[in-house]
Amino acid sequence: MNKLLLVSFLITLFFACSQEPSEEEKAQQAAAQARADEKAADEALLEKARSLFKALPAVATNPANPVSNEKVELGHMLYFDTRLSLTGKNSCNSCHDLAKWGVDNEATSLGDAGKRGGRNSPSSLNAALHSVQFWDGRASDVEEQAGMPILNPVEMAIPSKDFLVRKLKGIPMYAEMFKKAFPNDSDPLTYQNIQNAIAAFERKLIVPSRFDTFLGGDLKALSRNEKDGLNLFIETGCATCHNGALLGGTMLQKFGVHGDYRDFTKSKVDDIGLMAISKKEFEKDVFKVPSLRNIEKTWPYFHDGSISDLGEAVDIMAKLQLNKEVTKDENQLIVAFLGSLTGIVPAEYQKAPANLAPLN
């Protein structure tokens, strides 16, 4: 009986030893576990991201100015037409170049008379989703914003609303296009409708990126570095202000919570932000939090375009707004994540419409 037990034990031991996984099998099992762990971490990151950010909508709607094909076509035409400036040198696209992600990559932009504006021209891409317009929030939406640079003496220098209306009414193409875009108006070519048409076009300038694909559930849409950068972006505190669909654009904030921004950016112009309008001391250096969409393409940065390098801008923001230092490696990862916010402007919008009439 004891011999039978011994033989049974030896047989069991033999099969147990023979079933021991090989080194190759162990490596495969470890790799599979690592992939499972990575997927679980990515899924947790996705849920965290979804709690802070949103994917871009297809169109930025406004019930007071419904978007139609006719309005968009007209707004596209107006956006590129230099006749909206006094001497015919500037169009909306001059400072908000759609072939350059809606900016001109200048610290401040040249106006119609050759003078420069006082602040950096922000991107027109996704601009219709901002809660307010301009760095100081003085316009409520893109409809209001669209009419202001046209009349600004430094920017497009048109002397009055009536001046531009009379000018455009003398162009047969526009008379017909305004009639189609605003069919219920007895007098469709008005200054307000010029604004509405440009704004309708801008409401179509919504440019999603791989980050939206990630938010939609595709864990492979971002690289490992971009995911690690996203996690750092959140954990460092950047998402406190740069959140929502635009990663910003929804609030005004003091630029320099932990110091004077001028000491960090070496800004040459002393811009006091919202205080210039409100005259309230506590609103000194308060500006709109910019959207980070397409940020790697829309340099230079900040309200005065004082910084051209994105990595440097990240360091400045970490210190000024969060009182934190990020390492070189952390900086590079955050910059990598910010690159995932770059979208592609539709080709048909990167240039003037083919039927834009020449200057008179």
Q: Catalogue the active-site residues.
A: 155
Distances (CA, A) of 110 to 72, 84, 89, 188, 295: 26, 15, 10, 31, 21
Report the C-alpha gap between 155 and 114 in whole angstroms: 9
251: how many CB neighbours lie within 10 A of its CB? 16
CA–CA distance, 45 with 231 (Å, rounded to integer) = 7
Grouping H, G, I as helix, E, B as strand and the rest as coil, residue 108 is: coil
Spatial distance between the Cα atoms of 62 and 201, rounded to a whole number of angstroms: 12
**CB count in 10 Å sphere of residue 11:** 10
Angle between helices 224-236 and 23-52 (to 10 degrees): 50
The rounded distance, in Å, linking the Cα atoms of 268 and 306 is 8
**How far is the C-alpha of 73 from the C-alpha of 75, rounded, in Å?**
6
- Please check whether residue 316 is in contact with residue 308, taking contact to mean a CB–CB distance below 8 angstroms: no
Element (H, E) at 83: none
| Number of other CB atoms surrounding residue 178 within 10 Å | 24
- Cα 222 to Cα 213: distance, rounded to the nearest angstrom: 9
Task: Judge contact between 203 and 63, C-beta under 8 A.
Answer: no
- Please state, in angstroms and rounded to a whole number, the distance separating the CA atoms of residues 228 and 235: 10
User: What SS3 state is found at 176?
Assistant: helix
Site of tokens 């200048």: 106
Residues 291, 126 contacting (CB under 8 angstroms): yes
The CA angle 314-315-316, to the nearest 5 degrees, is 90
